[in-house]
Amino acid sequence: MRGAVMMDKSAMSVNKSQVARRFAQAHHSYLQHAVIQQQICQQLVRLMQSHLTSRKLGRVFEIGCGTGALTRALEQHFQVQQLLLNDLYPEVQQQLFSTSRTEWWIGDAEQIAFPEQLDMLISSSALQWMQNLQQLFAKIAHALKPSGYLCFSSFGPDNLKEIKALTGQGLDYFSLPELRRCLESQGFEIVYLSETVKTLAFEHPRQVLQHLKATGVTGTASGHRWTKHSLQQFYQAYRQFSRLNVAGQQEYLLSYHPIYCIARSTG
């Protein structure tokens, strides 16, 4: 392994089987409610259009394809010769149209063997679930051809900060500088790296919880059980994250902190 930057987040103890179960349960509601995640996919592909020299791609491997928002955006704007798709749970295969150009690689991306000689690896809103990102980047670097591209979006420390502040539940996200160091330690050249914060507004805190459940983002809520009393406490405490909209009505905010990256293998 190149470099000495340690990026092991195993202490956060992500239960991958629970994550898979929560996303599988939210599979049919995800498309309707995951507005931010779909916007992120579109933005990632726009960045790829701006920073890649060719619209023709050979072998492309996607980690965490989910309902296929990134997959469809990629195929709309690029010519892909072979598409290899990964996710934790097999139900995703029902949502995406498979062709002779498509192969499925179901399982935990940190555990399964990767296809080799890849021209590109892509991922959107999935890498934040990885427990040892440096090890995964080393695995990706090995799977990519020389000068192959790694194009992904993940989330930064301010992601869902309101939920973590009130419940203590959430992931330990990597900051942009940490991601840069981790990528460079594995021999990647950073082509593009940026971050932003997007905010959703809801009429009531219960809708915040419904939104999270509908998008499967409750995969870290290990052992957390709501009671009538704790819900009321949560609703009351969430007022600190509210504001008045232009109509003078109170709305409750939820933050997303996407990070976008395009990197090139130098191996």
pLDDT tens digits for 70-91?
999 999 999 999 999 999 988 8
Weakest-pLDDT range from 101-105, 218-222, 227-231, 253-257 = 218-222
For residues 107-123, give the mean pLDDT.
Answer: 97
pLDDT at 218: 59
pLDDT at 13: 52
pTM given for the model:
0.86
Q: Is the dihedral of CA 166, 168, 170, 175 positive or negative?
A: positive
How does DSSP classify residue 171?
Answer: -
Q: Is the pLDDT at 1 greater than 70, yes or no?
A: no
Closest CA to 188 of 156, 143, 129: 143
Instruction: Return the SS3 of 104.
Output: strand
pLDDT tens digits for 167-182?
988 889 999 999 999 9
Place of tokens 């009531």: 204
Place of tokens 């130098």: 266
pLDDT at 90: 85
Residue extents of the structural domains in the chain: 10-200+256-265, 201-252
pLDDT at 67: 85
Which percentage of the chain shows pLDDT scores above 90? 71
pLDDT at 21: 53
- In whole angstroms, give the CA distance from residue 25 to residue 100: 29
- Alpha carbon of 225 to those of 25, 157, 210, 219, 222: distances in Å? 18, 24, 15, 13, 9
For residues 124-147, give the mean pLDDT.
Answer: 95
pLDDT at 213: 85
How does DSSP classify residue 263?
Answer: E
Q: Is the pLDDT at 191 greater than 50, yes or no?
A: yes
Place of tokens 């000689």: 117
pLDDT at 222: 55
* CATH T-level topology, domain 10-200+256-265: Rossmann fold (3.40.50)
- In whole angstroms, give the CA distance from residue 35 to residue 197: 14
pLDDT tens digits for 202-213?
999 999 999 988
Q: Is the pLDDT at 41 greater than 80, yes or no?
A: yes
For residues 30-58, give the mean pLDDT.
Answer: 88
- In whole angstroms, give the CA distance from residue 207 to residue 209: 5
